[in-house]
A = this chain, B = another copy of it.
């Protein structure tokens, strides 16, 4: 840990909420440093401009508030979906994928502002501290990282409120009173819920918890069809209308949320060692995963697809654990991206009460040839006798093993 007097200027990931407002004050008082705030709009649904007045009131001179939605989807979400990434069979990595972008921008700001430190509001028990700090260290190896939750002695909500009151930090009592009992995180890809009654993994979450989607029960009784167009593995149009990456995800969130799509309830393994319960809504992402696999099924070579499937859990784990800017994630991305040049075409989906059903896929670069697979006369496209040799040679080692007495 650095000495407090070493820090001259720190860039803080600032939401404008109570916690990061307390951190702002705590940094100023503890490290006696100038604090630069950074607030990103990643589609979390809050009004990021609200942070400006609060930062000003907190004595901040350099205030960065930026809409990063397009960069987020284009450079982080889309590349990750090219990998069909799922962590532990269920989780679409909505929180994980947002962290590296924030780290990257904070380091850029630190460099521009001549700041020597960065700080964030993630706790010492979660994955986000790891993700933020790996980003910081990978991009600015000599940066000083300040993680107040691992340093200070505020351990309960009451401690926090007392600190705020003592230092004149405005607490929106009403909001504090009515706020969700869950620990939540949101961005254009998802919203997450942890804590409170979810800490009992046998307890079913109440319908009130969910914010972004209706329940399957409450979804329309009539299915809706949607057509997605792919280019190079990414969605470029919905129902024939060209869209930017952030527009794509926004529209798919609308469609998925309307049809009760994308809720999951899991127990996951955190990188810091424990198992934890989380619920997630990823309406658009759930649609994207299903559709991407469908367009790949026509346009990606079998062994390329299988290699992707074998590398995927490792890729997903790297993203989950915060290694976006690590050499091995970049290597895997190169391999994955090399498979996507042919991933062009359309997927037709049927959305209905929580279900995403693929009902059609087509591509000018399809490797599907109905003459090869038909059970009808194929006019010589495939010689069935070839299969005999194929089987005999592949079985040779099986036979040798049996003869050797296993």
Residue contact B293 to A141, C-beta cutoff 8 Å: no
Check: A166 CB closer than 8 A to any chain B CB: no
Residue contact A365 to B88, C-beta cutoff 8 Å: no
Residue contact B90 to A293, C-beta cutoff 8 Å: yes
- Checking B139, B307, B376 against A328 with a beta-carbon cut-off of 8 angstroms, the contacting residue is B307
Number of this chain's copies in the complex? 4
Residue contact A88 to B404, C-beta cutoff 8 Å: no
- Checking B336, B355, B401 against A353 with a beta-carbon cut-off of 8 angstroms, the contacting residue is B355
Report B-chain residues with C-beta under 8 Å of the C-beta of A124.
384-388
- Checking B141, B335, B404 against A299 with a beta-carbon cut-off of 8 angstroms, the contacting residue is B404
A406 to B331, CA, bound (A): 13
Binds B, one of A32-40, A57-65, A240-248, A274-282: A274-282
Residue contact A406 to B373, C-beta cutoff 8 Å: no
Binds B, one of A23-31, A69-77, A172-180, A261-269: A261-269
Residue contact B137 to A360, C-beta cutoff 8 Å: no
Q: Given the known inter-chain contacts A195-B375, A269-B397, please indicate yes or no for A370 contacting B139, CB distance below 8 A.
A: no
Residue contact B348 to A404, C-beta cutoff 8 Å: no
Residue contact B404 to A366, C-beta cutoff 8 Å: yes
- Checking B134, B277, B354, B374 against A395 with a beta-carbon cut-off of 8 angstroms, the contacting residue is B134
Scoring A223, A301, A382, A406 by chain B CB atoms within 10 A of each residue's CB, the highest score goes to: A301
Binds B, one of A7-15, A43-51, A147-155, A231-239: A147-155
Check: A104 CB closer than 8 A to any chain B CB: no
- Checking B367, B384, B394, B397 against A401 with a beta-carbon cut-off of 8 angstroms, the contacting residue is B367
Contact with B along A198-231 (1 / 0, CB 8 A): 0111111100000000001100000100000000
